Structure 1
Amino acid sequence: MRKIIVVDYGSGNLRSVSKALEAVAQSGDEVKVSSDPKEVGSADRIVLPGQGAMGDCMRHLKASGLEEAVRSALATKPVFAVCIGMQMLFRESEEDHAQGLGILPGRVIRFPASAMRLSTGERLKVPEMGWNRVYQAAAHPLWAGIEDGAWFYLVHSYFVSPEDIRLITGMTVYGLPYASAVAKDNVFATQFHPEKSAGNGLRLYSNFLQWNP
């Protein structure tokens, strides 16, 4: 039996994430939302969600006593980070000058107003909110069975800017091209929400549960 923990540090779309994982889990798997560092430490796989502002999420993570357990998991276990969970992996954010976990090199930046216009002159709204295509920038086991350019659901005003482009596994265009999925070793992360992305999102979570980095 595998234990799959959705980390509850007080910020995240926990119920939707856990329900999506339960839908694709194998018989005998346990999917659990937990705020217990010991359970995070004993888990076989970790999902790190996040909603809202990165600064608030980091404060909640530290206050919850889960930061050390999450850092340890990021170094040793298969981890899937979602939305602000993905942004938290990086060094810092323009949003409130928040400091992240610094696991991945790079920054989180806001959609620049100068780029938020279509060729027709129509302005794009920030936050980006709705369905958009994700183009696979690099091969990865989690893309198995998912078409290049598949649609996923996003809600965000900021996006990651990795210093190492080899981290980028997915790209999306909203006014400008940006990294919507990154991966390194045992960590895979998306700006979009798989739990809100219908069949493509469920396939991504299913692939994560089968992944052996």
Structure 2
Amino acid sequence: MSSLAGDRPASTGAPKGRPRSEAVERAILEGAMSLLEEGVPFAELSIERIARTAGVGKSAIYRRWSGKEELFVDVLRTAEPDEPELPGTSMRDDLVVILESLRRRGLASRDSAILHNVHAQMKSNPRLWDEYHTSVVAPRRQLTRDVLRRGQRDGELRTDLDLELLSDLFMGPMLVRAVMRPDGDLPPQLAEAIVDTLLSGLRPVSSPDR
């Protein structure tokens, strides 16, 4: 599970100099997760109810999160697999690691009742989706574009290609399998197969006289 204290900045409303308790933060997250596991819908997941379940005061939650949307996103992060650490050896290797993390998230979502519940509720709540997109989806997309940009710089990728489109081309097949086709196969070598298939047509072509 992710270490939430390191994944996001402290709430701007937190009193300066006041130490943050990881035990309290963990209790809050676990309290929210236990309510979700019981099937409590997001609309009924009030800060007061989470605080009561976690055994803390509401102020302890508001010192860490601005509201339940932000807390809900961190609950999702906690239930998901950890963010990948890119090897940095090549564009190809980094892309494989990024797609493998999506594959593992797809498997986790299928096997976890809480993730399934969270994802389902998130899709029907525009504010929640906006929070998730801003703090989770957008940074992941930026990471992929950064890897592709480095590939262009290092000669691993043609320079006449649109990075935004390329990002969708690499991520799309895995997202289709993991999200849009819940019965789709997610074999261990899928990330490598997607990356290598696409790169076979995207790498720079050597001139005939080389």
Q: TM-score, normalised by structure 1?
A: 0.25
The structure with more strand, counted as a fraction of residues: 1
Q: TM-score, normalised by structure 2?
A: 0.25
The structure with more helix, counted as a fraction of residues: 2
